[in-house]
Amino acid sequence: MGTVPERVLPLSPHTDILSPLFYTAFTLVLILGTFGCVSILLLVAWHKRLRTVFSFYIFNVALADLLLCFSGVLLSPTSALLRGWPFGNTLCYLCRYGEKVALFVHGYTLLVASVHTVVTSAPSGRAGLLANLSIWILGLVLCLPYALFVDMRVLSERGQCVASLPASVKALEPFAAFAVLIASPFLAASACYGLQRSLAWRRGRTGKADQRRRESARVFWLMSLMLLLCFCPVSVARGVALLWMPARLNPYMNMVIMATHAVAMSIVCFTVVFFFYLNSKHLAHEEARRAPLVTPSDI
């Protein structure tokens, strides 16, 4: 089975005019995303009260987002705007591979966290760490084809880092990647969230621990939803460019893909928001539990 090099879309005549806007957008996403993810890593490492199993899951998402900042926010947009690949052969192999691994870890960490809110009454931190490690190993193995299909001839002759995909899967790759890496974890996390809510309603659970689990399930579902919403536009744009010849030949399609890619990469800026929201709720419940009980005799 032959392979077909990924076609480089024609540049719009207004690309040079809008380049400063794209540079600004990606730089802002890179700074905010990196700062937020590093903040999560440092806070979980330094503060024992934040080392809960659900914080470990968001810690894992932050690690994946740092990889996404490097591959999807720094390397890919810069090479597209420079109309070449100045980073060398090794990073060409690692760029797309790293982006897909990061998306796999991000999505399936949220799925495992959602499952934990349903099946385990008191998940341990050790179980969370083992789950995180397993997700990374699985992602590194399953996404390995993205590191293999690199057209070295195009890289050496034209200085462009493009994929040489099997012809049978080239047109469907954006939709298949979206379905496997993003949509499937979201649907499974939605099912877990609905099941958790249903079980809580049927059993009439109103304790503090059950309330924390419901809040955690809601946060993980919202994070999965945000991932879906951010990556849906760029997946559709890339799929249309591959399947519809007029769109592929349109010089403005490149600008559309760049803009939707910026929207997709903005996902790295939201993880820190969900982290602080989740832990503020948990710490508030902990303070309420530790507060002394006031009796009528104390008044």
Handedness of CA 231, 115, 270, 27 (dihedral sign): negative
| Residue 284 pLDDT | 55
Query: How many other CB atoms are found less than 10 A from the CB of residue 220?
Result: 28
| Residue 7 pLDDT | 44
The model's confidence at residue 81, banded by pLDDT at 50, 70 and 90, is: confident
The percentage of the chain sitting over the pLDDT mark of 90, rounded to a whole number, equals 37
Taking 70 as the threshold, does the pLDDT of residue 214 lie above it? Answer: yes
| Residue 6 pLDDT | 46
The model's confidence at residue 114, banded by pLDDT at 50, 70 and 90, is: very high
Of 36-50, 138-152, 156-170, 270-284, least confident by mean pLDDT is 156-170
Superfamily, domain 3-281: Rhodopsin 7-helix transmembrane proteins (1.20.1070.10)
| Residue 216 pLDDT | 86
Q: Which of 105, 116, 106 is nearest to 52 (CA)?
A: 116
Query: What's the mean pLDDT when you consider all of the chain?
Result: 81
The model's confidence at residue 10, banded by pLDDT at 50, 70 and 90, is: very low
The model's confidence at residue 262, banded by pLDDT at 50, 70 and 90, is: very high
88: left (phi over 0), alpha (psi -120 to 50) or beta: left
| Residue 70 pLDDT | 92
Q: Which residues 6+ apart lie within 8 Å of 228 measured at CB? A: 182, 183, 186
Taking 50 as the threshold, does the pLDDT of residue 299 lie above it? Answer: no
Of 89-98, 191-200, 277-286, least confident by mean pLDDT is 277-286
Mean pLDDT, residues 247-252: 74
Handedness of CA 197, 198, 204, 205 (dihedral sign): negative
Domain range annotation of the chain:
3-281
Strand, helix or coil for residue 166: strand
| Residue 47 pLDDT | 85
| Residue 291 pLDDT | 44
**114 vs 201 pLDDT, higher one:** 114
| Residue 41 pLDDT | 93
Distance CA 51, CA 35 (A): 20
